[in-house]
Chains A and B, each alone.
Chain A
């Protein structure tokens, strides 16, 4: 079979499918009562994910090494990671809002890779001597996966900020402080303002019918839309952070085994450290008394842009071993 023709079909298909999927997610959010939209949009995301996996697999077969050697391949790997973590978040959160924020970003990246990147940068290129190592697969793939997890997590934090804009928030989903405890008054106001179709689980079977007597009764206080978005973002970022840590460490070990210096403050590794520091600050902000809610979400939002600078911005300098393609 002609692998090159297959690749061009697959990359255009994944772009088209992601575009339609984005519209389906947005439609589903705007008209929650329309049937089939939910399953259609999830199916679209799955098709895109498989198309990209096929594309990368075809390039792997064609070039004979793990397809992460240039900008085009790494953009597609990033999108594959985004769609994969999208499924994780959608499954855990059981919320349609995940796709509303992840689908447009995934679509944007594939659009850039297929339409904007010049053709000579889409072709696979031979590896330079420094990159001929099994560490390449380990280090680069873990780094890319961590970028995608961190992007999905911070997109959810942005969604949290949008949903709670102008509201007073009191959250349960934090590690210490007020986490897990009742805050009766504020919770009732939030429950009223949150659209019910997005709440963490539909049906509300857990609310127990109160006994007849006037004594105090307890029923489970479910997470509101804002709270579940906040916690979902935390859990996805909580996956991205270990991945980033492992990715940076594998890079340091590789550099030490290959050149005898685990850390040389090259711009790319410095920016990876900056990403790590920003998300470490995020994780600590979540457990700081009185900081639950918006402040960590602002840090995660900043983190979204820092990840992009680390991933693409540094390549504009075109210096060092990490300059896998630039375009200006």
Chain B
């Protein structure tokens, strides 16, 4: 039973997987489905699709929100059919390596001398050079080929030369490294996790808000250390655009002792015990204000729902019974907030360290406190993916090399020479033409030497 299944796999499934036309169809199918994910908006709410892809009139006559949600066009790259395509792609790569590439490499390595003139006839680039019996030798040819960096093998009357065998090995490594990348990615999705935290400047936090984690990700999530945001700040350019975000972070052990510290920014994360902390986002957490001569209040700021901008706002009570207050709105962390009075009228802007009279009180702005948006991640698949990347870059360059072979045979005062290459036809042709011309010229010189006076006219 088992062996018959195995045989069926070998005789029916493998030939399909190894078929180049199947591989091409697979490549183009993945391309086509990937396009769908760039045309249809991904990861939106059901309401979004209902609004944009109504049932009547259906887009192209069929593309309604029901169709999109049913076949998963709202998350193409995570659907079972897209992942199956990728797995099929990986199997096709592996099969092709064993059933095609290894035999092709073996065939390229095991060469033979051509010992009959007939064998040269099938080669497009083949020629006959008549040689005089006295000068019949393969040595000039061997020398000419060696000069062109061929590796030359020679017997009494036959010659084989090759170069660029690496060009046959390159594609094998390309396939192997792509399999390594796919496996690394799969390993990473099972063992990795990703979390996001929005932490006000000065707070200490543990990794809790886990957005995504694989089935075996538990050991990766940090339990014996926490992290403190010593300070978060933004540098602005002279025109008011954001130049860079910075977070000064400390890693703390369970006793609260600092064991690591680094200031991170975009493109410069912190790494600790296989976990990486990236700077990805920011928000305004709170403002510190004083009303007349009161103690300093720290008031949280909330994100306001507005179109086309990021705004945060808070409310400052100006009466002890909280019956009235003014509003503060901030747009960025350059230290300025805008103040509105109890009726919602704009009073003016207030800078850090300054004060403003509003509704008969003196309001002082002490500080605008930001929160840093951090992405915390561990991905044990990355070393495999990176190894695959390195191998892939190297091997895809090696695959440019053309594998060239030249055969020659000396028989009946004739030198038969022929060759072929698998990629760079044009340059190989030029090389072989040069070699043949050179041999022909030498032959003419040898033959002409005693006859120069008599037959010079015929030879030119």
Contacts and interface: CB of A to CB of B under 8 A. Distances in A.
Interface of A: 92-93, 126, 128-130, 132-133, 135, 172-173, 175-176, 179-183, 187, 200-201, 205-206, 208, 211, 216-223, 227-228, 231-232, 234-235, 238-239, 241-242, 245-246, 249, 252-253, 256-262, 265, 267, 270-271, 273-274, 277-278, 280-281, 284-285, 287-288, 291, 314, 317
21 contacts: A126-B239, A128-B241, A129-B266, A129-B267, A180-B124, A181-B122, A218-B127, A220-B127, A221-B124, A231-B425, A235-B424, A246-B393, A249-B393, A253-B389, A271-B38, A274-B34, A284-B20, A284-B23, A284-B24, A288-B20, A317-B38
Interface of B: 20-21, 23-24, 27-28, 30-31, 34-35, 37-38, 42, 77, 104, 120-130, 194, 237, 239, 241-245, 265-267, 269, 276, 278, 280, 375, 377, 379, 382, 385-386, 389, 392-393, 396-397, 399-400, 416, 418-427, 429-430, 432-433, 436-437, 440
Contacts of B379: 260
A245 B393 contact: yes
Contacts of B400: 238-239, 242
Contacts of A216: 121
A223 B425 CA distance: 8
B34 A180 contact: no
A220 B432 contact: yes
Indicate the member of B31, B280, B382, B421 with the most A CB atoms within 10 Å.
B31
B189 to A, nearest CB: 11
Nearest to A245: B396
B377 A176 contact: no
A29 B265 CA distance: 56
Contacts of A314: 38
Contact of A231 (B122, B129, B244, B424): B424
Contacts of B38: 267, 270-271, 314, 317
Contact of B122 (A173, A182, A291): A182
Contact of A93 (B386, B392, B426): B426
Indicate the member of A179, A273, A291 with the most B CB atoms within 10 Å.
A179
Contacts of B122: 181-182
Nearest to A285: B24
A267 B40 CA distance: 11
B121 A259 contact: no
Contact of B31 (A175, A223, A274): A274
Given A216-B121, A221-B124, A265-B77, A235 B423 contact: yes
Contacts of B436: 206, 208, 220
A176 B35 contact: no
A258 B266 contact: yes
Contacts of A245: 392-393, 396
Contacts of B237: 126
Contacts of A239: 400
Contacts of A267: 38
A180 B425 CA distance: 8
Contacts of B432: 220
Nearest to A207: B127
A131 to B, nearest CB: 9
Contact of B399 (A211, A242, A288, A291): A242
A133 B121 contact: no
A132 B266 contact: yes
B389 A260 contact: no
A184 to B, nearest CB: 9
Contacts of B37: 265, 270
A314 B34 CA distance: 13
Contacts of B77: 265
Indicate the member of B397, B425, B433 with the most A CB atoms within 10 Å.
B425
Contact of A259 (B126, B375, B419): B375
Contact of A257 (B267, B425, B430, B433): B267
A234 B423 contact: yes
B124 A172 contact: yes
B440 to A, nearest CB: 7
A291 B440 CA distance: 37
B348 to A, nearest CB: 30
A126 B241 contact: yes
A261 to B, nearest CB: 8
Contacts of A258: 266-267, 269, 278
Contacts of B124: 172, 180-183, 187, 220-221
A259 B266 CA distance: 8
Across the A-B interface, the 3 shortest Cβ-Cβ residue pairs: A180-B420, A260-B377, A277-B31
A241 B430 contact: no
Contact of B426 (A200, A208, A253, A259): A200
Nearest to B124: A221
Contacts of A252: 389
Nearest to B130: A211
A175 B168 CA distance: 10
A108 B245 CA distance: 40
A181 B123 contact: yes
Given A129-B243, A208-B128, A238-B400, 13 more contacts: A132-B244, A135-B267, A182-B126, A208-B440, A218-B121, A218-B128, A220-B124, A231-B424, A231-B426, A235-B426, A278-B31, A280-B27, A285-B20
Nearest to A262: B385
Given A249-B389, A265-B42, A274 B35 contact: yes
Contacts of A291: 21
